Structure 1
Amino acid sequence: MGRAKFFWWWRYGLTGLACLFFLSGCHAHKDATPRTTAAARTTITALVWAPDWPQEMLQIAAEFSKLNPDVRVDVQFMIGNSVEENIKPRVAGGTLPDFVSVNPNAYAAELADQGVLADLRGTSAWNNMLTPLKADWTSRRGKGFGISGGVATTMIYYNREMFAKAGITQLPTDFYAFLRVCAQLKRAGFTPIMWSGGFPNMLGNGPFASGFANDVVANDADWRNKMADGTLNLDTPAVADIFAKMALIPERGYVQPAFMTTGYDEGIRLFKEGKVAMAFEGSWSAGSMLHGNAFQTGVFVPPWNARGAQVVPVLGSETGFAVCETPRKAAALRFLEFMAGKGFLILQKKRHNISPFRENAGTAVSDPVIVDYTNAVRRYPVTASPYYSSLPSNTIEYVHGLMQDVLLHKITPALAAKRLDQSVKNEANMHYK
């Protein structure tokens, strides 16, 4: 081969090889495009209040990501004594999660009206929620700001065997009858009731909510509007009675030792192990409270009413779920829909609560005992909301300290009522309504 021909072949051969490499690179680039897209998953943050179902929440997130491989859920659990104390720093710092637990109260409704929480009225989850619950989750401007986690009602669970051994044949129907039952149980050698002084959230859901129901709601049909505009008077003997009853139970020796350090899980364990005869708990704990016990468990309406007065039970929406207005809102809405569908069924395997939805109510696991109790409570002429949807947000946290201070004899019930009244009025003045 001549030098000229060899040069020509070498020159154009390299050019051809370059083209081949270029084309190969083009094809490689095209082939890589789907892999790049698949790797670019959207990660949403879910800040969730799940004191008794953390494993179920992690399972829900994992199942969702299996069905939605383009979305990863970073689950973070709330800590402390309330939902609000977890949300407020995020709002103030601009570090909002994409999916968040919220309560059906004025604070969350105001977040929706301020554009912090998304309007959920266009979702299937909202449309499938029981109609009576929607009012709890509608803001002043008409936005649907959350989906209920269940139909919430509080009750007293009791150990039927202990009651029988103590000779108790009739359930108490007023507070003084309740005290007699406690005295009878104590004489029989049993600790009458569990008091969760170390977890004031349950003090709020239990004796405070029932006290508020029977001492305030029962006597003023317009209490909610008056609380919102600051005209509801809570500096009264009736409100002091709420705190006095709460303190009276341990003063008479009707609670477990070291009750001021008893937390949520420990309180449930004390009941399940037969160390206390009764426990103030919610329908959300039915799965834990009714199953795996060595005894039969019954429930009754907390008799925090005066003798001869109609008892007012607590009934409303449980802590639920909302979506924040973030760049990942669309993915968070998909997770909300899953949470209200297949996710809720996973949740129910642990909790056995009353479903807040129409379509999956028949397939969700619910205990007949709780279903019958809830249906009976719905027929009462007056019911009250849970404390977390009754009180202003800052007052929710404040009342936790008031209850503990009363139990520790740092303040009197009358002073607690006075301070509660001041807090509610201050909140009204600051327009948390």
Structure 2
Amino acid sequence: MYGCHQKDSASPGAAAPAKTIITALVWAPDWPEEMLQIAAAFSKENPDIGVNVQFMVGNSVEANIKPRIASGNLPDLVSVNPNAYSADLADQGILAEVGKTAAWNNMLDPLKGDWTSRRQSKAFGISGGVATVLMYYNQDMFEKAGIKALPTNFREFLAICEQLKRAGFTPVMWNGGFPNMLGNGPFSFGFANNVVAREPAWKKKIDDGTLNLNTPAVADIFAKMSLIVERGYVQDGYMATDYDGGIRLFKEGKVAMAFHGSWAAGLLLHGNPFHAGVFIPPWNAPGKRVVPVIGSETGFAVCDTPNKAAAMRFLEFIAGKGFGILQAKRQNISPFRQSAGAIAGDPRIVEYTRVVSRYPVTASPYYSVLPSNSIESLHRLMQDVLLNRITPKQAAQLLDASVKNEAKMHYK
């Protein structure tokens, strides 16, 4: 019985019904206030449930989850990525089945495969949005630098970077202090155009450990990141630039471009003292068609705890009435067929997503591509390459070894 119903029939002086407190461990690097608003709105509508919101820190969702599992201190609701690690948690019974929720039924069908475990076909989470990675750019800087056309391949991208630099502008923002964004940006697009474009069975081969990443093509992914730095196309102190700092650099007109996700559209496209636009990051070679990155954004799952029923109600609220609170700031692409009360995504992001979703070959964001331990390894490898501690070739060798080891440990 809900507490409000009990209150109507209870005698004076009767003890108040017990209130369930659920813990929500959430990845919200640029929308913590909105998450608190959602929790408050949910508790107001559901007075029998309180929400203790805890925010993830560091560079990955998985690094926040693993210690909680190891210590047996599971949250009731948790942010998860649509990857093999989360799917394994579902198959192990750590994440609850969400396939019977209204949120799952309302989620776009093309996204459901990302959130279904391969072995036991469990629906383990609800997407936070349709995730695309793109290049945001300062149109005023481009005009002042005399750039007449957007680049369509990596050679042309280097040329406009040089043109911007000669005009006195810093061409592009690099999140060296937050390697998560290096992974989402130049690594994801490098992987898309250097690996996915050449190997249609890349997902299966990562799982079974037969995908060879110790190749010149994978070394080139790291080399491109380093080349942008070597030519002086990034901001000063780029290795200390964190997530929020990178967004500020773009919004304050200190860099001409930001390699970022659709989830930051509300921040990057609005409230600027200049006109902003977007284009597909041209990480393709001349004469090759670009492979864009599109997939599921980090989403939400319910852990199999004693508070599972209450957490499931909160999940439904986040994907329902709460989603409008998120969209008011983020203006991303909704993962749902119907989003009551939610603001539509920014028209530029809607059009970008429409265009890239029709490409014959697309790739997924890196966090849904790599095994969880390889994600953490990749973060260090990218930073080490940028700091000249290792070569791009060595980074490819180490990444290959990590991915193969994960396959050996978990998928054979």
TM-score range, shorter chain: over 0.9
Q: Which of 28, 33, 36 is 2:16 aligned to? A: 36
Contact kept? 2:106, 2:337, Cα under 8 Å: yes
Structure 1 residue 175 displacement after superposition: 0.4
Alignment TM-score, normalising by the size of structure 1: 0.92
User: What letter is aligned with 1:159?
Assistant: N
Say whether 1:359 aligns with 2:338. Answer: yes
Q: Which of 130, 138, 142 is 1:159 aligned to? A: 138
Q: Which residue of 2 aligns with 1:403?
A: 382
1:230-286 Cα deviation digits (max 9, x unpaired): 000000000000000000001100000000000000100000000000000100000
Map residues 288-303 of structure 1 onto 2, 5 A cutoff.
Answer: 288-303=267-282
Q: Secondary structure at the match of 1:100?
A: strand
Contact kept? 2:126, 2:301, Cα under 8 Å: yes
Q: 2:182, 2:213 → 1: CA distance?
A: 19
1:331-366 Cα deviation digits (max 9, x unpaired): 000000000011110011111110000111784331
Q: Which of 112, 115, 137 is 1:134 aligned to? A: 112
Q: 1:234, 1:398 → 2: CA distance?
A: 14
Q: Which residue of 2 aligns with 1:191?
A: 170
Q: Which of 280, 291, 295 is 1:312 aligned to? A: 291
Q: Which of 48, 51, 63 is 2:41 aligned to? A: 63
Q: 1:241, 1:309 → 2: CA distance?
A: 16
Contact kept? 1:106, 1:432, Cα under 8 Å: no
1:362-416 Cα deviation digits (max 9, x unpaired): 8433110000000000111100000000000100111000000000000000000
Say whether 1:112 aligns with 2:87. Answer: no
Q: 2:213, 2:265 → 1: CA distance?
A: 33
Q: 2:230, 2:217 → 1: CA distance?
A: 20
Residues 256 and 361 of structure 1, relative CA distance in 2, 3 Å threshold: farther
Q: Which residue of 2 aligns with 1:346?
A: 325
Identity of aligned residues (%): 72
Q: Which of 187, 205, 213 is 2:184 aligned to? A: 205
Q: 2:342, 2:176 → 1: CA distance?
A: 36
Report the aligned-residue RMSD.
1.1
Say whether 1:225 aligns with 2:222. Answer: no
Q: 2:145, 2:211 → 1: CA distance?
A: 43
Q: Which of 204, 224, 235 is 1:256 aligned to? A: 235
Structure 1 residue 294 displacement after superposition: 0.8
1:59-112 Cα deviation digits (max 9, x unpaired): 000000000000000000000000000000111111000000000000000000
Q: Which residue of 2 aligns with 1:89?
A: 67
Q: Which runs of 5+ in 2 are unaligned?
A: 1-9
Structure 1 residue 432 displacement after superposition: 5.5
Say whether 1:47 aligns with 2:32. Answer: no
Q: Which residue of 2 aligns with 1:273?
A: 252
Q: 1:364, 1:273 → 2: CA distance?
A: 26
In the alignment of these two chains, the number of paired residues is 402
User: What letter is aligned with 2:248?
Assistant: R
Q: Secondary structure at the match of 1:355?
A: coil
Q: Which of 400, 421, 424 is 2:403 aligned to? A: 424
User: What letter is aligned with 2:59?
Assistant: N
Residues 62 and 404 of structure 1, relative CA distance in 2, 3 Å threshold: same
Q: Which of 237, 244, 247 is 2:223 aligned to? A: 244
More helix by share: 1
